[in-house]
Amino acid sequence: MITEKPKKYMNPYLAGFFLGFVLLLTIYVTGRGLGASGAFKSIVIQSVETIAPTHAENTVYYADYQKSHPEGAMKSWLVFEVLGVIIGAFLSGVASNRVSLKLEKGPGVKNSTRIIGAIVGGALFGFGSQLGRGCTSGSALSGMAVMSFGGIITMLAIFGVAYMVAYFFKNLWIKKQ
C-alpha cells in the first residue's frame, strides 16, 4: 500500500495575518473590502450582453448595471481580484508541490455524486450571495473588519449553520470503522 506524505501547509496564524493585511490594504486602496461574487456577476452580465444584446438592453437589471459601469462589466476590479486569486492559488500549489488533477471525496461517495453536489452547492451559494448582496468574503470578513453588525451576524450565521449541517454530512468524508 502506498502512503502519501503529509502535505505542508502555511501556518494558519500567519495565513490569517496575511489575509487580514490584504483585507486592510484592499479597504485602504479601493475603499471597499474583499469579495468574489461581484466578479462572477460581471462575467454573467458580460456573457448575456455578448450572447443576447437585445435582451440585455430590454432588461432593467442589465441596463442599470451598464449605466453604473460604463467602462464595461469585465473591467471591474473584482474580476481582476478573482483572476489574481486563481493565479496566486495555482502558483502557491506549484511552489508547494500540491498541484494535481484528483477529485477529493470521502470513501463512500461516487465521483458523480461529488461532482453533482459541488455544482448544486456552488449554484446555491451563488444564488444566495446575490440575495445577500455579497459572498461570505464580502459580507462576513469585510463586514467584520469594519465592525459592521451585519457582518458579525453573517459570520455567526455561516458558522452556526455549518456546525448544524456538518453532523448530517460527516459520514460522506469520514471512514467508518
| 2 located within any domain | no
Residues 64 and 77 in one domain: yes
Kindly report the pTM of this predicted structure.
Answer: 0.67
Into how many domains does the chain fold?
A: 2
Cell triple for 165: 449541517
Cell of 164: 448544524
Whether 54 and 166 have beta carbons less than 8 Å apart is answered as no
Cell numbers given for 3? 502512503
Q: What angle do CA 130, 131, 134 make, to 5 degrees?
A: 50
- 15/93 same-domain check: yes
- Report the SS3 class of residue 158: helix
CA atoms within 13 A on the CB side of 151: 15
Whether residue 143 is contained in a domain is answered as: yes
In-domain check, residue 4: no
Helix axes 60-68 and 37-51, enclosed angle (nearest 10): 110
Has residue 123 been placed in a domain? yes
Picking from 18, 45, 48, the residue whose alpha carbon sits closest to that of residue 34 is 18
Instruction: Domain of residue 156: give its range.
Output: 103-177
C-alpha distances in Å from residue 124, one per residue of 120, 129, 130, 166: 6, 8, 10, 17
pLDDT in tens, the chain (177 residues): 566 666 677 788 998 899 889 888 888 888 877 777 778 888 888 899 899 999 988 999 888 888 888 888 788 788 888 899 899 989 988 888 888 888 888 777 888 988 998 899 888 888 887 777 777 777 777 888 888 888 888 888 888 988 888 888 777 777 665
- Quote the CA–CA distance of 10 and 27 in Å, as a whole number: 24
